[in-house]
Structure 1
Amino acid sequence: MKIHSSAIRPPTSDLRRWVALVVVCLGQLMIVLDSTIVNVALPAIQRDLHFTQADLTWVVNAYLITYGSFLLLAGRAGDLIGRKKVFLAGVIVFTVTSVLTGLARDPATLVATRALQGLGGALSAGVIIALIVTGFPKPHERAQAMSVLTFVVAGGGSLGLLAGGLLTQMINWHWIFFINVPIGVGTLLLGWWLIEENEGIGLSQGVDIAGSVLISAALMLGVYAIVTAAGQGWTSAHTLGFGGASLALLAGFIVVESRVKNPIMPLRILRLRSLTGASAARAFLVAGMFTNFFIGALYLQHVKGFSAIGIGLAFLPSTLALATLSVGITARLMARFGARSLLVVGLLTIASALFLLSGADEQTSYFPRIFAAYLLFGLGAGLSFMPILTISMSEVPAADAGLASGFGNLSMQMGASVGLAALGTISTDYAKSLVAQGASLSTALTGGYQIAFLLAAVCVAAGLLVVLLVLRAPAGSDERRTSAGHVSERAEEAA
């Protein structure tokens, strides 16, 4: 029997783009889930594989170091050789190493495979925004596509807490990694079929090996200094030494990039105010948001006595509020009021939610205070993420979309790493000081969590300040044209 070729063709162009968006977001979902799902399973992993308390942190740190180190390089690789290739390579690495991590039977193997998993995550995440930007050239379509990505990024954290609790309690911790396999295989097969490839700038002018090595080493040492600072001390020779070495390598990288013909990061990208300003604001925003996921889970577990599943359910108001805004409401609001105005409202809402949580103590019931805070948190996230992503890419040339995507993701990763490490340390130190003063353990923990929530609100407020001072609409143009018009112009270059 003859099989007509039309039976295996991809969908028509318009439908294909939207189905491809779902595929890309599945890849993002794997990465976002990993950021919270592992935290829930850490006690079970420690018991089963006999991790020491000090070594247990490397289950998370090994992933963070490689993930943060290669985001920028992955984004630029997508510009040079093709974003589809880089994305699918990342999915393959992430999926295979998820299997290996789930099969690990000793601490060394698990930490090593987690490091490789971070590399896979970086390869995929580094080009995801670029795939969306170049795939949806029309402003209203891009807004809708960004809504979907926003929901996945912000809602995946809550889903990870719930999934981690369910899998760990009902099966075992191995399945928090095995769950990535069907998602990864589906993403790989559908992505190969549906995602359209950009031709890439090519490597005809050579490869910037020196720049690639310098930026990867600089980021690796920098992230290592940050994630180990809590244990070593922020002013220790260890932290200052690795941090200083990272800055020195970064300075060398900038010198190299200013001189080579085909730089891995053309310095012109740093002159785009919308990209650098939005990335800085995004770093502050994520520092506050990730602190909420981490400290909020600890507060609910250690102070309120919630189970792992209960913690996931407690975050549901955030997820549902975000989902409601992501069905097109945020896109319509942005078209009417402008990205910057909507972002200001979103950041104010998130800061208010975190401030509300900073007053929660041992006697605080879930209803109404905590529920209201998480509802506000989800609404604020839904109003913030799509505008900040749109602004960050609004002036980026199509040829540099991957680099800008990696740059934005790097800012988010650094914000999360620095925020969690710094606020976690302050929270712990403050709790210890309260114990020394005679407070009960529960009271001391509550005090530590309260100050962490308060400082998280300050971080988001700092992001708001960046938006107000840096991300101003150009003179002579209204903000709605700025948020959509530049996007349209740059997208036409990508078409």
Structure 2
Amino acid sequence: MLASFIAFLDGTVINVALPAITREVGGGISTQQWVVDAYLITLGAIILLAGSLSDAFGRKRVLFWGLVGFLVASLLCAVAPSAAFLIGARALQGVAGALLVPSSLALILSTFSGAAQARAIGSWTAWTSTAFIAGPLIGGLLVDLASWRLVFAINVLPIAVTLVLLARLPADRPADAGARVDVLGAVLGVVGLGLPVFALIEQPNFGWASPVIFVPAIVGVVSFVAFILHERRPPQPMMPLSLFHVRNFSVGNVATTFFYGALSIGSFVLAVFLQQVGGYSATLAGLALLPVTIFSILLSTLFGRLAGVHGPRLFMCVGPLVSAAGFFLMLRISDEVNYWSEVFPGVVVFGLGLTITVAPLTSAILGAIDSSRAGIASAVNNAVSRVAGLVAIAALSFV
């Protein structure tokens, strides 16, 4: 759980640090988008490969190397002398982060079953959702008290603790020791995600008529189509399309796409808007989402348990509607930004909807898949959520 917390934390801890980063290393909104999306591109693409790796070589081993890689990449981010260096280090950080999430969740799925599994997923969800939402608060405190560089350097401590705890776990056997790793699929996935995102972010600077934009866009789309076609061929594909024949898995991932896309763009926009328009400090911008963190910590396990007893359908229907109502309330935010009357009500309603949704959604998706395929199933689901976030943030260039 702590390993997943680290990976999810770095997806959002950066949001409130973006203005401080661009003030020091230069760049505008496109630099801010790249600092976020460089991490999400490699995370979203490689996480599929990581799921296969965890099944082929053992979850504990893959988790160990993911933690070591994340530690090195975090230190590179912390000492970045330029925007380009930071963006490259963030991409490496995403590769390492991709190794953390499927392995940690697969360990839970292979250890627990039934209602106990639902409770365990609820606890995992509480940690990951808390990381996703607490990131802006933690990042804000570090930026205001010291430097944006500590946003990355702070990863050293939880990674060290996780490595110590991991060493105490017994060695696990690979779920599929004969599995082959789909490297070509990983390459097509990275190109198919990265080039269209490049086009989305940079099109305001060059225009769609520029070959700098339309050539990468076309190559990216072709690569993504090739990725889907390729995944139909290998005996052990990186993203087994047969998983989507399971109704709960396919429907759940569609819901994941829309829900996490909205969550990512909402968190990004609110954190930047409060600072650059409302004049908030990084800490206050992070504190704005504190109610969401509180809901997640207190109620995620409860809703995970309720979903295990009553089924996830009701929660998956009600939760997104409640979250949407929260975003609707935030439309009232003015340039003066009165937190208690304009921001707080929407954040509270959104936080409740998020907590109602995430644990039952995760339980429904992964509970429908056999435990022997837990690694790849969790990887696909997490890839869907990360890709939804990176595309949503890249699409901000149209606004």
Q: Normalised by the size of structure 1, how large is the TM-score?
A: 0.74
Distance 1:388 1:113 in 2: 32
Of 350-359 and 32-41, more deviation after overlay is shown by 32-41
- Counterpart of 1:149 (choices 124, 134, 143) is 124
Matched, 1:258 2:213: no
- Counterpart of 2:368 (choices 390, 395, 411) is 395
- Counterpart of 1:411 (choices 378, 384, 395) is 384
Structure 2: state its 5+ residue gaps.
Answer: none
The structure 1 segments of at least 4 consecutive aligned residues displaced by more than 6 Å after TM superposition are: none
**1:425-480 deviation line (CA, Å, top 9, x unaligned):** 343xxxxxxxxxxxxxxxxxxxxxxxxxxxxxxxxxxxxxxxxxxxxxxxxxxxxx
Whether contact under 8 Å (2:30, 2:202) holds in the other structure is no
Structure 2 partner of 1:449:
none
Matched, 1:134 2:110: yes
Residues 198, 242 of structure 1: alpha-carbon distance in 2 compared, 3 angstrom cutoff: farther
Structure 2 partner of 1:184:
159
Matched, 1:381 2:357: no
Distance 1:96 1:289 in 2: 28
- Counterpart of 2:254 (choices 269, 277, 280) is 280
Residues 414, 231 of structure 1: alpha-carbon distance in 2 compared, 3 angstrom cutoff: farther
Cα deviation for residue 113 of structure 1 reads 2.0
- Counterpart of 1:110 (choices 71, 86, 89) is 86
**RCO (CA 8 Å, sep 6+): is it higher in 1 or 2?**
2
Structure 2 partner of 1:19:
none
Whether contact under 8 Å (1:227, 1:417) holds in the other structure is no
SS at match of 1:194: coil
Structure 2 partner of 1:175:
150
Cα deviation for residue 343 of structure 1 reads 1.4
Structure 1: state its 5+ residue gaps.
Answer: 1-24, 428-495
**1:12-56 deviation line (CA, Å, top 9, x unaligned):** xxxxxxxxxxxxx22122222222222322333334345577555
Cα deviation for residue 401 of structure 1 reads 1.6
Cα deviation for residue 63 of structure 1 reads 2.1
**Letter aligned with residue 345 of structure 1:** V
**1:258-286 deviation line (CA, Å, top 9, x unaligned):** 33333333331231221121111111001
Matched, 1:330 2:303: yes
**Letter aligned with residue 344 of structure 1:** C
Cα deviation for residue 114 of structure 1 reads 1.9
**1:336-394 deviation line (CA, Å, top 9, x unaligned):** 53211111111111011111111232466322442221111111111100111011112
Matched, 1:319 2:302: no
Distance 1:235 1:124 in 2: 40
Cα deviation for residue 117 of structure 1 reads 1.0
Distance 1:53 1:318 in 2: 26
**Letter aligned with residue 260 of structure 1:** P
Matched, 1:97 2:73: yes
Cα deviation for residue 312 of structure 1 reads 1.8
Residues 367, 225 of structure 1: alpha-carbon distance in 2 compared, 3 angstrom cutoff: same
**Letter aligned with residue 245 of structure 1:** V
SS at match of 1:396: coil
Structure 1 partner of 2:174:
199
SS at match of 2:177: coil
Structure 1 partner of 2:283:
309
**Letter aligned with residue 327 of structure 2:** L
SS at match of 2:13: helix
Give aligned-pair identity as a percent.
33
Whether contact under 8 Å (1:81, 1:203) holds in the other structure is no
Whether contact under 8 Å (1:78, 1:86) holds in the other structure is yes
Structure 2 partner of 1:120:
96
Distance 2:123 2:99 in 1: 20
Residues 229, 65 of structure 1: alpha-carbon distance in 2 compared, 3 angstrom cutoff: farther
Distance 2:97 2:275 in 1: 29
Q: Normalised by the size of structure 2, how large is the TM-score?
A: 0.90
Of 343-352 and 267-276, more deviation after overlay is shown by 267-276
**Letter aligned with residue 378 of structure 1:** G
Distance 1:235 1:270 in 2: 37
Distance 2:197 2:170 in 1: 32
Residues 78, 234 of structure 1: alpha-carbon distance in 2 compared, 3 angstrom cutoff: farther
SS at match of 2:168: helix
Distance 1:260 1:43 in 2: 45
Listed as ranges, the matches of 1:348-387 within 5 Å are 348-362=321-335, 365-387=338-360
Matched, 1:425 2:397: yes
- Counterpart of 1:245 (choices 216, 219, 227) is 219
Matched, 1:347 2:320: yes
Q: Which one has a bigger Cα radius of gyration?
A: 1
**Letter aligned with residue 184 of structure 1:** I
Of 265-274 and 388-397, more deviation after overlay is shown by 265-274
Distance 1:198 1:297 in 2: 43
Cα deviation for residue 120 of structure 1 reads 0.6
Cα deviation for residue 233 of structure 1 reads 4.9
